[in-house]
Amino acid sequence: MELLRSTIFHTPNNPFRSPDTFVALEDGGLLITEGRVTGCADYSTLRTTHPDAVVRDLRGGFIVPGLVDAHVHFPQVRIIGGLGYSLLDWLEQLTLPEEARLADVTYASAIAGEFVNALAAHGTTTALVFGSHFAPATTALFEAAEKRGLRVFSGLVLSDRLMRPELHQSPDSAWRESKALAERFHGNGRLGYAVTPRFALSCSEAMLEVCGALLRDDATLRFTSHINENPREIEEVERLFAGASDYLEVYERFGLTGPNSVLAHSVHTTNEQLVRLATSRTSIAHCPCSNASLGSGVMPMKRHLDHGVPLALGTDVGGGTGFGMMKEALQAYLQQRVAAEPFTLTPAQMLYLATRAGAEALGLGNQTGDFTSGKAADFVYLKPVAGSVLDGVLKHTEAPERKLAALFTLAGAECVREVRVAGDLVFHAA
């Protein structure tokens, strides 16, 4: 039994519903027994009730729940920073040529290693990951995630039109290869399988039918794709699926929405579609860095919240600008401040979006996302670099909410000192 002593922040309740439920323990204790949280309270209380626990003094830093990235592409690590494109040009000129290189499994394995290292080094303990169009490369990702000890849901990316021909597969092979990967990795330790058509634009009706059949065959699989990201993309989808009233209806028609589904972006979503998303409990992964970088637009968060659509955050690497989920939450805050319908996220809401909301979207809300007793001990230990601007700000800040706001504003990967999943060390700063 281990007792960690530090300032602790977490959001066991949804601060969008009840703003006062942010938990800040200035001199906190996190009690861990066999990889699970068995207490999270004031240090002195836990010390008294558990005198035998081995204490680690981590004062001067902050423990927060492991960060959850609800939308990120593993084959795109090496194309981060491709500025100046819009979605469809970016795909054609930069992204798909790189994704085609993952046909070489040696190359794919190197990328998978870099990818899981980057997740862990940024404090991300759980991620819903777009795999590769190639089964061996997607296997390499699952194996790298397993070796690192991260919670990763991923799947073979499916397309049968309008991409580069080498990225296409037939609906038959999509079925066979997805089935084989799901059988091998779904529910295997911390891994899970997500049916992953790239987007409606790159999939025929037959391919989306395969996706629906995979989900019907195993109702515990997750589903992920893109929606309403870019006006040209939306126009093309509506032209290709002439019978559908809008982009969302394409996914609905094939049974691809619901509580196990996470759709990325939702920048140009109508209120009528928001009602349908909320009704089906489909989650949206909000990816503000990517939305700004690719000029996709400002996501209407207030309308999503008003309609009760479940929201999480994704870095969308490599359309996004890096792996930092704290930075992603800050970017959400900044963009919503100046959105057409502005909304001011509180630090507690930012923490919730970066942790518990992602866990809920992935159907892992009872396992991770906060420090409720019984959950896995998934956490990040952040410590400001001595003498840094953040260090100075924190020394002059009293209120916990202000400290959390300063962390979101100034804490980068250099502050991530230790990351653990179910108590196991997955990253330790040198």
- The 227-266 site mask, x for binding ligand GUN (CB under 6 A), equals --x-------------------------------------
Instruction: Decide if residue 319 touches ligand GUN (CB under 6 A).
Output: yes
Q: Which does 181 bind (CB under 5 to 8 A by kind): Zn ion, ligand GUN, none?
A: none
| Minimum distance from residue 95 beta carbon to Zn ion (Å) | 10
The pair of three-digit structure tokens given for residue 430, joined into one six-digit string: 């040198």
- Asked if 73 is part of the footprint of ligand GUN (rule: CB under 6 A), the reply reads yes
Say if strands 416-421 and 424-428 run parallel, antiparallel, or are unpaired. Answer: antiparallel
Return the residues of window 89-108 that contact ligand GUN according to CB under 6 A. Answer: 91, 95
Q: How far apart are CA 400 and CA 385, in angstroms?
A: 19
Q: How many residues does the chain have?
A: 430
307 HSE (CA, 13 A, CB side): 24
Nearest to 313 by CA among 359, 372, 379, 368: 359
Binding of ligand GUN by 316 (CB under 6 A): yes
Other Cβ atoms closer than 10 A to 232? 13
Distances in Å between the Cα of 258 and the Cα atoms of 169, 211, 213, 217, 252 are 26, 13, 14, 15, 9
Q: Among ligand GUN, Zn ion, none, what does residue 198 contact (CB within 5–8 Å per kind)?
A: ligand GUN
Q: How far is the CB of 265 from Zn ion (least distance, A)?
A: 7
> Which CB, 124 or 290, lies closer to ligand GUN?
290
Q: Cα 247 to chain center, whole Å?
A: 22
Instruction: Find the residue with minimal CB distance to Zn ion.
Output: 316
Q: How far is the CB of 290 from ligand GUN (least distance, A)?
A: 5
Contact assessment for residue 148 and residue 117, using Cβ atoms and an 8 Å cutoff: yes
Cβ proximity to ligand GUN: between 92 and 209 the closer is: 92
Q: Which residue has the tokens 């080094």?
A: 121
Q: Which does 95 bind (CB under 5 to 8 A by kind): Zn ion, ligand GUN, none?
A: ligand GUN
Is there binding between residue 383 and ligand GUN (CB under 6 A)?
no
- List interacting residues with Zn ion (CB under 5 A): 264, 316
Q: Is 418 in the site for ligand GUN (CB under 6 A)?
A: no
Q: At 407, which amino acid appears?
A: L
186 binds, among ligand GUN, Zn ion, none (CB under 5 to 8 A by kind): none
Minimum distance of ligand GUN from residue 188's CB (angstroms) = 26
122 contacts ligand GUN (rule: CB under 6 A)? no
Closer of 139 and 224 to ligand GUN (Cβ): 224
Amino acid at 101: R
Residue 261 makes CB contacts below 8 A (sequence gap 6+) with 222, 223, 224, 251, 280, 282, 283
Looking at the Cβ atoms of 224 and 349, the one nearer to ligand GUN is 224
**Which 167-206 residues touch ligand GUN, going by CB under 6 A?**
198-199
The least distance separating Zn ion from the CB of residue 264, rounded to whole angstroms, comes to 5
Tell the smallest beta-carbon distance from residue 285 to ligand GUN (Å): 10
Residue closer to Zn ion, measured from CB, 37 or 91: 91
d(C-alpha 426, C-alpha 5), whole Å:
20
199 interface partner picked from Zn ion, ligand GUN, none, CB below 5 to 8 A per type: ligand GUN
**3-state SS class at 1:** coil
Tell me which of 109, 290, 315, 331 binds ligand GUN, using CB under 6 A: 290
Angle of helix 171-185 relative to helix 135-148, nearest 10 degrees, comes to 20
Residue 304 contacts ligand GUN per CB under 6 A: no
The CB-of-162 to ligand GUN minimum distance in angstroms stands at 10
Question: Given candidates 50, 226, 276, 356, which one binds ligand GUN under the rule CB under 6 A?
Answer: 226
Nearer to Zn ion, 256 or 264 (CB): 264
Q: Is the dihedral of CA 346, 279, 319, 294 positive or negative?
A: negative
Assign 3-state DSSP to the chain and report helix, strand, coil percentages, each to 5. 45, 25, 35
- Give yes or no for residue 315 binding ligand GUN (CB under 6 A): no
At residue 410, φ and ψ (nearest 5 deg) are -120, -15
Q: Is the CB of 3 or the CB of 87 nearer to ligand GUN? A: 87
How deeply is 391 buried, as exposed, middle or buried, from its count of CB atoms within 10 A (0-12, 13-18, 19+)? middle
- Centre a 10 Å sphere on the Cβ of residue 55 and count the other Cβ atoms it contains: 15
Work out how close the CB of 195 gets to ligand GUN at its nearest, in angstroms, rounded to a whole number: 15
DSSP per-residue string spanning 378-405: -EEEE-PPTTSHHHHHHHT--SHHHHHH
Closest CA to 332 of 318, 352, 308: 352
Single out the segment in contact with ligand GUN by CB under 6 A; choices: 46-54, 87-95, 209-217, 339-347: 87-95
Residues binding ligand GUN (CB under 6 A):
73, 87, 91, 95, 198-199, 226, 229, 290, 316, 319
